[in-house]
A = this chain, B = another copy of it.
Amino acid sequence: MALYDAMFSQYGANVAQVLVTEPDFYNTEFRFNMKCTVLELLGLNIIPIINANDTIAPLDINKELTEAQVARDLKLKPGDSIITVKDNDSLAAHVAVECGADVLIMMSSVDGIFNLPPEEDDARLLHTYCPGAVGDIVYGEKSELGLGGMNAKVKAASWALDRGVSVIICNGMQENAILKIIQGKRVGTFFTNHKSRSTPVDVMAVNARKGSRILQSLTPEQRSDAINRIAELLQSRKEEILQANSRDITRAEQENLDSHLVARLALNSTKLNSMSDGLRQIAQSSKKFLGKVLTRTLIAQGIELKQISVPIGVLLVIFDSYPNSLPQMTALAISTGNGLLLKGGIEAAESNKCLVQIIREALSPYNAMDAVSLVNEREDVAELLQLEEYIDLVIPRGSSQLVHSIHQQNCRIPVLSHADGVCHVYVDKEADFTQAVKIIRDSKCDYPAASNSMETLLFHKDLVTQKFFEEVCQTLKNEGVKIYSGPRLFNLLTFGPPLAKSMKIEHGGLACTIEVVDSVQDAIEHINIYGSGHTDVIITEDKEAAQHFIQQVESVWTFKNCSTRFSDGYGFGLGSDIGISSAQIHARGSVGLEGLLTTKWILEGSGNTVSDFTESGSMMYHRYPLTTETENINVMSDTPNDSDSDQPIK
């Protein structure tokens, strides 16, 4: 007690010792008194530390009462299960039930309940455990639970659960475990009588991987058919979808969501038709991506190496509230054979649920419905990002706040995203002024909230004293653009615009910063330091300056003599995308079909060993490159022996 007292006093909390013996629980009056004492202590903000009164009656050597006696004392109905107070676990359960606790947290030295004995290879912590429905939550084919010597805890926990107390068994050594539980985070194993109506997300991910394998085993035509089937259902099940959508709209209006956002949330016939058209286009154009032979090499006689495109695996797409993009993202995943977990915004919950239901229906004839799942709204993004064993790639699609929040979290899964758009237009001294005014106005004013709208306008120093400079500023002012100065411009002008707080600011609206640079080299350095690597433009008629700029600016989109606003997949004609990436590796820019694929290496031999190739061996490496017909892995070539190295190479 002295230790408890010392520890709790560090948090300004007072404690009180409560000692009980087993028979106390079987006496109605004693039980009532104990409950009152505990509740009174809690009312006084005193934390009761309850233990067995070992002085007079240590729990385990106490006279054992028969179940019948206990049942009579506790006034149990026939059929109610009984646990006797034998240890701290059953004591805790009894106290929690008696006092009507909301939650009982049982801390032990293990992390919770596992699906298998914890030391086995495949053992996995169960985040929820439904004592009455073991069959439902057990993973795979094995059914033995990994209680790890926790039978007593599980029995006590189940008993308390049956009496209306939520129970969590977790590891007491985990930092801030109690706080995290109170915050609703997934810690340990949560006992519930709610028979797992929704699949846990890790199971969804495992199923998505299985779905991905099924999609891969289909022919490209079958994958296209599935996408076309979704396109059909979007039209034939229009009413169902629009009804679900109207429930979202109603809620959004009740919650006074911005009308602009409500408009984007709303679906209608036209939108559904255009979504269908988009899907049919993907179905048509996407056939040759997955399973494509990228390189072929005849390594030696009878050994052929192929590099083929394969799915990345399981994708998690976290997207904002607008449901339009859902079918398109799904179609991209299906045609590339990837499993897909979708985590949508709460605002579009009903629409997303309905759309995913329809998509799964379209996939069910191929037994691939699990390839696509909607993660439940209550799943926390932070938790999803910790599932690196199950998810191969995270794609956030939405506001820069969403993307930033993901990057700030400690995510071990690769993330393809772009967040900030601090885009620059540099007006060189050799610029065509008429073009420049047009491009600047379009870059800033076409859609100021877009991430590829211009935030900073750089002028060559020679231009600042020219009439053109004033003309540009006047044009922006006429459009209602609020102008800020960079430090150099601020010092140059006697009555210039106010100083920008930083050169890294993304105004995100009708505002921009103007700064002066000495040369194209100076502009390049400015952009590489203060830019966000998104879209940057040079306006010049000087080919050398343009070449230098385009080569040295490190942004994903580096443009000459056109608006920053061109940097999106649609304008480029790159087709649909699942998101935008400004990452340094893998797909950059608009992430479409190719960005959702990776490669694997296939070697087909005829009994070959590397020792055949040693100095004393019988074989020699040839390494002839072969042509890559547009061959798909579903229609594999004949045995490589057919391509004899003595014959001419195709």
Binding site for B on A (CB under 8 A): 10, 121-122, 213, 216-217, 291, 297, 299, 303, 305, 307, 310, 312-313, 392-393, 410, 414, 416, 432, 434-435, 438-439, 441-443, 446, 502-504, 529-530, 543, 546-548, 550-552, 554-563, 565-567, 571-573, 583-586, 588-589, 598-611, 613, 621, 623, 633-634, 636, 639
Contact = CB atoms under 8 A, between A and B. Distances in A.
Contact of A588 (B555, B598, B604): B598
A81 B380 CA distance: 59
Contacts of A303: 562, 566
Given A442-B610, A547-B636, A602-B559, A503 B121 contact: yes
A213 B552 contact: yes
Given A303-B562, A561-B605, A572-B299, A446 B584 contact: no
Nearest to A638: B543
B571 A313 contact: no
Contact of A558 (B560, B600, B636): B600
Name the residue in A432, A504, A563, A565 with the highest tally of chain B Cβ atoms < 10 Å from its Cβ. A563
Contact of A434 (B589, B607, B639): B607
5 shortest interchain CB distances as A-B pairs: A562-B605, A435-B607, A573-B623, A442-B609, A585-B586
Most buried by B among A565, A566, A603: A603
Most interface-central of A410, A573, A604 (chain B CB within 10 A): A573
A571 B610 contact: yes
A606 B561 contact: yes
Contact of A603 (B557, B586, B608, B611): B557
A431 B559 CA distance: 57
Contact of A297 (B217, B291, B502, B573): B573
A431 to B, nearest CB: 10
A537 to B, nearest CB: 9
B584 A313 contact: yes
Contact of A446 (B438, B561, B565, B611): B611
Contact of A566 (B217, B547, B588, B608): B608
9 contacts: A217-B548, A299-B572, A299-B573, A442-B611, A446-B611, A550-B636, A558-B602, A559-B604, A560-B602
A605 B537 CA distance: 10
Contacts of A611: 442, 446
Contacts of A504: 121
Q: Summarize A's interface: helix, strand, loop or mixed.
A: mixed
A452 to B, nearest CB: 10
Contacts of A446: 609-611
A621 B571 contact: yes
Given A588-B599, A621-B571, A609 B414 contact: no
Given A600-B557, A621-B573, A585 B10 contact: no
Given A299-B571, A439-B607, 13 more contacts: A305-B572, A414-B414, A435-B606, A439-B609, A550-B636, A560-B602, A561-B606, A565-B609, A566-B605, A571-B610, A572-B603, A573-B621, A589-B600
A293 B636 CA distance: 31
Given A555-B600, A558-B602, A584-B392, A550 B610 contact: no
Contacts of A557: 600-603
A541 to B, nearest CB: 9
B552 A601 contact: no
Given A303-B562, A313-B584, A571-B610, A551 B605 contact: no
B217 A552 contact: yes
B608 A563 contact: yes
Nearest to A565: B610
Contacts of A598: 584-586, 588
Contact of A562 (B121, B392, B556, B607): B607
B312 A543 contact: no
B551 A633 contact: yes
